[in-house]
Amino acid sequence: ATKRLQLQREHSEAEERMLFPQALAVFKPSDWAALAGRFKTADDPLFGEHGGERFRLLYDYIMREAAGQ
């Protein structure tokens, strides 16, 4: 699980460092509008309106793993 968390963290950091800045530099408002229409809106399963206690154990586990406990 620790390796998976590390891989996910590295992936997210690469998006923040390379992908998103490039998209902001290149995309026009019409590009963003076209993209927005192609994605389904989804509630965040952990922190969204319908999350709550259902994912509490998973959240606690992930936080312990991330802290190396």
2: CB partners within 8 A, 6+ apart: 65, 68
Q: Please state the pTM of the whole predicted model.
A: 0.49
Segment 13-25 mean pLDDT: 94
- Higher-scoring residue by pLDDT: 42, 3: 3
55: CB partners within 8 A, 6+ apart: 45, 46
